[in-house]
């Protein structure tokens, strides 16, 4: 089972006052590298922290265990082994109904979008991810939480 790391809120890379957390759920290990690169300035400045879970099960454990921070957004891939993103979505919303979930998929067909939105997703992004659009979604959540 993949291991996730809790936010190290006092670490120099995040600053000591990070209180906003984005949880990214994807079974592909390269996703963490890509996201950390795309949002490196925000992460370094402590604007928000990002944590990564490589399975739906690990994401639910993280949601249950996180303390001292506010999860402002969950980004989840749909196609993962074990619990899929569409199976994770209602469970995450049941645990944290206040946290928006954005689903990510390589297959942006109408049926997948309908299923995700019907299950409570805020929106559906297709791969390759348009990081300009994603940054807009994140900026909106950070502003609301401020």
- Comparing C-alpha atoms, which of 122, 116, 4 is closest to residue 59? 4
Q: What distances in angstroms separate CA 103 from CA 13, 67, 113, 126, one per listed residue?
A: 27, 24, 9, 8
Q: What is the model's pLDDT at position 2?
A: 44
**Are the C-beta atoms of 92 and 66 separated by less than 8 Å?**
no
Say if 10 falls within a structural domain. no
Domain assignment of residue 5, yes or no: no
pLDDT of residue 101: 98
Note the residue count of the chain.
146
What is the model's pLDDT at position 60? 97
pLDDT at 138: 97
The structure's pTM equals: 0.87
In contact, 14 and 39? CB cutoff 8 Å: no
Q: Do 56 and 124 meet the contact criterion of CB atoms below 8 Å apart?
A: no
For residue 86, the model assigns a pLDDT of: 96
Domain membership of residue 105 (yes or no) is yes
Contact assessment for residue 135 and residue 114, using Cβ atoms and an 8 Å cutoff: no
Is residue 29 domain-resident? yes
**83 inside domain:** yes
Query: Bridge-partner residues for 77, per DSSP?
Result: 104
Q: What's the pLDDT at 67?
A: 86
CATH code assigned at 110? 3.40.50.2300
Token duo for residue 128: 């390759």
Number of domains in the chain: 1
User: Is 54 contained in some domain?
Assistant: yes
Q: Where are the alpha helices (DSSP H) in the chain?
A: 30-38, 40-45, 56-65, 85-95, 110-118, 131-145
93, part of any domain: yes
pLDDT of residue 11: 35
Find, among 66, 59, 2, the residue nearest to 29 by Cα. Answer: 2
Per-residue model confidence (pLDDT) at position 18: 64
Phi, then psi, of 99 in degrees rounded to 5: -100, 120
Please give the chain's pLDDT, 146 residues, in tens: 444 444 443 333 334 456 999 999 999 999 999 999 999 999 999 999 999 999 999 999 999 998 888 999 999 999 999 999 999 999 999 999 999 999 999 988 899 999 999 999 999 999 999 999 999 999 999 999 98
Contact 48, 55 (CB under 8 A): no
Task: List the domain range (segments joined by +) for residue 94.
Answer: 20-145
> Residue 132 falls within a domain, yes or no?
yes
Quick one: pLDDT at residue 108? Answer: 82
């Amino acid at each position: 089972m993949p291991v996730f790391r809790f936010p190290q809120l006092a670490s120099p890379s995040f600053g000591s006052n990070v209180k906003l957390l984005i949880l990214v759920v994807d079974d592909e290990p390269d996703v963490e590298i890509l996201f950390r690169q795309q949002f490196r300035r925000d992460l370094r400045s402590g604007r928000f922290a990002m944590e990564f879970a490589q399975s739906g099960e690990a994401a639910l454990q993280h949601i249950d265990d996180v303390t001292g921070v506010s999860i402002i957004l969950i980004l989840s891939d749909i196609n993962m082994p074990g619990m899929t993103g569409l199976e994770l979505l209602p469970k995450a919303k049941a645990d944290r109904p206040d946290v928006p979930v954005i689903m990510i998929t390589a297959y942006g067909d109408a049926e997948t979008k309908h299923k995700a939105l019907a299950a409570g997703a805020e929106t559906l992004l297709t791969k390759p991810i348009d990081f300009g659009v994603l940054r807009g979604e994140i900026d909106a959540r950070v502003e609301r939480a401020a």
